[in-house]
Structures are given as C-alpha cells and as structure tokens.
Structure 1
C-alpha cells in the first residue's frame, strides 16, 4: 500500500517517478489565466490568517461545506475567521475522493510543511500555525508566489478597469511578471438592460465621452483594448454559455444598441445578434495585436435564484451546462478564418461530453502558421481534477497533438492554489509513463521528458507574446 501524498504521489511506476522528478518538478510556472486580485499583488498583501487567504471567496470549499450541512453563517456569514476554519476542517474528512481532499493537504504540505490530515480535532492547532506563518514577511503574496517558482501570472480584468495596480507593480516588480487580461463579458450583455446601460455609462465616464451611438460604443471599447495593450496585455478571455455566431448587419446592431439604450427590452434574436457582433470585433482586435483569445464556454450560471438574491453571483451556485456547442464554434471560427482574422485561440469546455468535439474542432482551424495555434484548453472548473484532466489529456492526445499543448492554469482566486500545477504535472508524467511501461510508447526518456517539459512550461512560454 502506497503512503498518502508522499514524494511519489500519483506516480505509479519508476518511469513516472523519473519523468516527474527529472523533467517536470522544478520548472517555473506560467499561470496565464486566474482571478487573483491585482491590488493584493501590487501591495504585496500580508494575510492575517489562513481563513482570509484560503476560504474567503473560494466557492469550491463553500459548496462542499453546504453539502456537509454547514450553516451559511460559517461560510459567507458573520462567524469569526477561526470559527469558519474549524467548520472547514470539520468538512475536510468528508471530502474523500473529491479533489478538495488532495488540494487541501497538498497546499498544507507545500506552503506550511504540515503533514497531518486536517480534521476538527487538529483545526485549532493548524489554524494557529498557518496563521502565524502567514504573518511572516516571507509568506506575503510575493513570497508565496516565489515559493512556487511562479514566473508569470495573468489576472482577469474588465475593460473599464484602470489597471492602476498593474502599473504600480510594473514600476517595482518582484521576481515574477503580472499582466492583465481583457475580459469584456459585461460589455456584451444587453439582456439585462439596467446593468448594461449602467455599464455603458461607466465606460463613458472612463473615456470622458457621452456614448450615444453604437459606433461611439465600439470606439470606446477599442480605446480600452488599446489601453490594455499599452499596459502589457496580450490575452483576452470570455466567459460564455456558447459561442455566438448569428448573421447580422451593422445597421441592425446599431438599432439594437439604440433600443436597449432607450430602456426597451430586447428579444432573444436581438441579444444573440448583438453578442455575435461584439465577439467578432473583439476577435479582430485580438488578431491585429497578436493576442491570445480564450473562450470558457458551457457554464450554467446563477442557478439558485434565492441564493443569488441573498449572496450575489460567484458564491457557488454555478453548474455544468448542457448547451449545444458545435454549430456556434464552426460558424464563429469559420467567419474569422475566412477573413484571415483568426488568431491564437484557446477553447475550454465545461461539459465533459463535449471533450472530443472541442479537441476535433481545434484541428479544423489550425493552418500551419503556428504550432498549436488553436488550443484545446486544460480541464476547467469542475474538471481540473484527476479524472477530468485525464479525459482532457486523452481527448487531445487521440485527436490532436498533446505535445503542443500549453498546459495547466489555476483559474483561481487563491494565492495558495499553485500546487495545482504540480498536480497536473504528476498526472501528466504518470499517463506518459503508463504508455511506456505498457509498450505503447518507446522507452525514450530523453525525448518524452522534453515533450513533458514543453507541455508544462516551454509551450506556454513560446505561445504567449508576453513582454519581457
């Protein structure tokens, strides 16, 4: 029986151990998509306790606690940080076979050297030890990222964000780089007319112009896209139910914009046409600047209307959606390819039933100009765990070129989430090693080790045009 979470965790053979320890383990991390707060990076925040860095905003843990019968008071409510941590510790033994069980103990080991399994019995001791360490200067935000050998992080930022914290950090950086990513979801969401009109008004304030027409709106968004580029951005990102690719005319979109600005409701056809038009604009701007565009599709968001009213969005009530994906992908990517404006693209799906569809779709639009130009992105959200990663890796291996894959990301709001890269690297090495042991791949450790290094680090380093 293998020990739990030892140095050869997830590595099931000597070959896997060799691939991981000799080739993957010590590589730097390029985390090209996350939700880390840039102000906390720029200010090199020092957290006061483990709950503040580990539980505040982590809807993965919140969902598990609710499923374990924990009252909301101890999740997002009025309980003290220590009380909330104790309720999380009480929940952890019940997360067996959920990735939270692995992540929890991997993070306790890597950041704090704690080998014990977390439970209600040792909650106070773990809280005191970790919180005390977090108050040490070497466990500030910069220290935590440097400890994990992080080289680059890309945050997720709205077009109207000032990027003041990215600018402040760039003037006095630590050992890693931080870049913004252009995330215009709110800019293309006219289905909620009140929220959309408020957004347009805020955008007008940012650019110091009263936005009255669709052309003014597009010009304003383009100016923000340019502003992001001036501040080192080379990545965009979209969170969508599916790709929108309806046929439209410019006059139609102008009329739709005027309709929603006048306070009228749009019908579904008008909403879809507006989203389709905005996506084409954003994609063409990305292509002009050689940015990488990312599409995270398939989430069924805010499913619990009562919880949404009480707690707001992003509190653990989003789910896997069963949207139809294929036709939108074909039409959207096809329109760009036909006009030769399809740039580097990463596609992420949330429903595992779409794995092979997405892996195959990427191959339809690679054109030989760039290795791995259209990427099937890493297992996302509900699938960034052993089974989900394995399925994504196998779909990409069977249908595309796993050797050109740009690898893992955290997609996290936590500064303690970077061992997820280790988790991915261990699993990747074990998958390749299993094929070697079974005679399905040659025992060419040098070459396969290089491929693993490329997937874990070098492919991303070459794919993203980060400014030095």
Structure 2
C-alpha cells in the first residue's frame, strides 16, 4: 500500500526539525492578522454546498494554473457547472507538481476532510462526493472550519465605507474566535482613477461629511477611522506598487484636489504629492489610535486588459512588479518618525529582489520602544511558497532578528487556507532543524523551540492589541 503523501513529518527532514515542529509549533493557536475572508459569510455561518464553491470559486491561484494547462474559461470562472469546474481542477492538479498549489491542495484535503488520496482525474468523483458531503453539514460551516484549525484571531480587510454590520453581528453572537477588521483606504488614494469621484460620494454617505476639499476628505477618513476603532479595528492596510514621497504645501494639495474635481488631467508628480500628503495624514491617525499599519508593496496589477474588461480585477492577471522601493519608503517612514508619529508597521514586498532592501530598512526605525516595532512581513502572494518563505526568513535573519518576527498570515479569500500556517511552520522548523544538524545552531531545543513558539504565536499575540 502506498504511503500517504501528507505524513506527520511532511517537509521535516531530520529529527531536530520534527521535534521543533511537533513539540513547539504544531499546537500554537493561529493569529491570522491579514486575510480577505468575507465577513458576511462568517456572520451568517454560511454552509457551502460543495467543494467547488469553497475551494475553486474566487481562487485566482487555481485559475491561473487551470488556464496555463489549457482549461477553457467556461470551466474556470464561466458558466460551467460546479462539478465540471471541479473536474477541470482535478485534471490540472497533477500538472502543478513543484508549484505550492500541489502541497496546499493535499494539505487542505487532509486537514479538513481527512482525505489522503491524491487528487487527479481518476479520483475526482470520489473526492468531490466525500468532501462535498462533509461540507454540506453544520459541522463544517464557516465558523466551524475556522475553529477546526485552532484559529484565535482573524482580521478581514475592509474599505472605509463598510458598515461593519457583519462584524457587529459576529461580535454579538458570542463566537469564540475574535473576528476583527483592518482599514484599507486604497480607493481614497487613487486620485487619478476613473472611479475616484464616485468613491468620494460613497465616502460622503458613510461619513456624513461633504467632501469638497482635501481637508474635508481627511475629516471624512478620520471619522471612519474613529468608527472602525469603536468596532474593534486595530490595523490598517495599503496595497501600493510603491510608497510615494513628494512633499508639497497644503495649498498645493488643495489645488490638486480641485483640479481633479474639475476633471483636469493630473501629472504623475501631482498624483504623488496628493498620495504622500494623504498617507502622512493617515499615518498620524494610525499612530494616535495605536494601530498597526501594513503596506503590501510591489504588485503589477491588471496586466491583461482584454481579460480585465471581461472579468474585472482580482481574477488572476496580476504579477510581480520591479518598482524602486528603498528611497521613497525611507523618506516616508522618516517623515513620520521625525514627528515621533511612526506607529508599528509591517512591510511586505512582492519582488524577491527587494527582500534584503526591506529587511535592512526595518532596522532604521526600530527605536527600542516596542519589540519588533517595524516588521518585514511574511512572504505573500507569489512568495508564500517554500522558496519564497525560506528566502524571506533568511533575509530577515541576516539583516535583522528572526526571533522578533510575528510570523505567517493567510492573505486569502478561502476558508480552507489555514493549513498555510502549518506549511509555514513546517518550513520554519525544517530550516532551523537542518542548521542544528549541520552544527550551525546549538542542539538546545528549548532555546530554539521557544523562538519557534514566539514566531508562530507569541510575538503576534504581544504585537497586536486585540484585548477588547
């Protein structure tokens, strides 16, 4: 009989790695401080009808792989039936060998459904029926799926205009997992985008502030920050290609705002001046609230204009950008720090060429006030795979202190993504275990094991203020 693929010692290649994982990492609760889970589904404790609905719908990682092997869009995001889409994915899986999707797929089948069978064309029906039957039960509702993975905190990502009604409902329900939110004002920064004026109308409605100037835009956002804070928010998040930094007088920023409202074309420098001013204002607000600010940097989005027009954004047409990061990021952080208003900050990069840049940058602004105040965030998106995670850990170790790292997050829209924390923990423990075996680290399992505990859970627990 064939040995199951996902064994107890999956990705653990020596006894030291095994001990670190099983004794120090495996049982730590999960603090998922950045994800894109839909809070409405958690609020109503949604039950998925089948495996396609929870596993393939909305997953642009899988969509890209399916398109690569020649699957028609009908069976990816189109009007194919749920079963047809699952079969298309099952036929794709054997061709994902050495892609993280192969590992994630079988980890998720094992952890959520106790299925050890490799997914392929021949096993598709059996797996679809077994997993779907288990899903279509209250024991595998959204909330129970989260609890099953020993999750303690989940932070969704929400626009300033969001009512947070779903978070309020969850809080009132007595659910044991703390479901929080993070404030993501990207649309307020996109002054050159076609939908900016429409967005301001939405922000006016949610804030009850008439936005006629840059000043009133700031007032409206400040009011929404207050509202988010009252509802338990303790983090912000920003998705930017790079952080701009172009200082300008307040009068010039107001003129730029008026120019946009008059539908005049803005120069790139004017856009950067507006964004710089707004980001600095927001940074002041986050510091005043004691929030953590996050910056996801380096994505080159919406590359395929033909498919963007058909399917919209976040459907699998993004990639890694090669933007300059260091100088403007340094100036931005310094502008806040010079006023002693630089709050706890997590920097994520998408271009692996920038690993050492960001790992070195954080040391410039760790001022001794908070352990690990400025963090080089975990490998994300295209980098949350074995090599990407390892490279991030190595860069952080070489340029900073791995012992202060706050660990992994899912950054996912799927309720079946929590084994990614296990994946990270196994990679971390194997990296350390191999260095113990080589004599590059001491055979002091308590010393190194406690560092593992901290990275997997305790550092994040101390870093974020969820004591509400």
TM-score by length of 2: 0.99
2:316 aligned with 1:320 = no
Instruction: Give me the whole-angstrom Cα distance separating, in 1, the residues matched to 2:466 and 2:205.
Output: 30
Q: Give me the whole-angstrom Cα distance separating, in 2, the residues matched to 1:443 and 1:213.
A: 62
1:3 shift after superposition: 6.3
Q: CA deviation at 1:206?
A: 1.5
Aligned residues: CA RMSD = 1.1
Q: How far apart in 1 are the matches of 2:208 and 2:381?
A: 38
Q: Please give the alpha-carbon distance, in whole angstroms, between the structure 1 residues aligned to 2:48 and 2:265.
A: 45
Equivalent residue for 1:56?
A: 57
Cα deviation, residue 173, structure 1: 3.0
Map of 1:109 onto structure 2: 110
Partner of 2:246: 246
Structure 2 partner of 1:166? 167
Structure 1 residues 320-339: aligned runs within 5 Å: 320-339=320-339
Give SS of 1:151's match.
strand
Partner of 1:465: 465
Other structure's SS at 1:306 match? helix
- Contact 1:232 1:467 survives alignment (8 Å): no
SS at match of 1:61: helix
Equivalent in the alignment of 1:224: 224
Counterpart CA distance in 2 for 1:209 and 1:146 is: 40
1:98 corresponds to which residue? 99
Q: Distance in 2 between matches of 1:307 and 1:91?
A: 21
CA offset digits 1:159-187 (Å, max 9, x no partner): 01100000111001322001110000001
Deviates more, 1:204-213 or 1:259-268: 204-213
Structure 2 CA distance for aligned equivalents of residues 258 and 467 of structure 1: 42
- The CA deviation at 1:210 is 2.6
Query: What SS class does the counterpart of residue 158 from structure 2 fall into?
Result: coil
For 2:146 and 2:324, the matched residues in 1 are separated by: 38
Q: Tell me if 1:420 matches 2:420.
A: yes
Counterpart CA distance in 1 for 2:224 and 2:175 is: 27
Conserved? CA contact 2:5–2:116, under 8 Å: no
Q: What is the TM-score when the length of structure 1 is the normalising length?
A: 0.99
Give 1:265 deviation, angstroms: 1.8
Question: Counterpart of 2:347?
Answer: 347
In structure 1, the partner of 2:120 is 119
Unaligned runs of 5+ in 2: none
**Distance across 1 between alignment mates of 2:206 and 2:463:** 32
Aligned counterpart, 1:454: 454
Match of 1:271 in 2: 271
Number of equivalent positions: 467
- Segments of 5+ residues of structure 1 without an aligned counterpart are none
Q: How does 1:346-365 map to 2 (within 5 A)?
A: 346-365=346-365
- Contact 1:406 1:456 (8 Å CA) reproduced: yes
Summarize the alignment of residues 54-453 of structure 1 with structure 2, pairs less than 5 Å apart.
54-192=55-193, 194-453=194-453
How many Å separate the matches in 1 of 2:16 and 2:208? 61
Residues 221-272 of structure 1 deviation map (CA, whole Å, 9 limit, x = unaligned): 1000110000000000000000111111111111111111122221111111
Find the aligned partners of 1:141 and 1:169 in 2 and give their Cα distance.
12
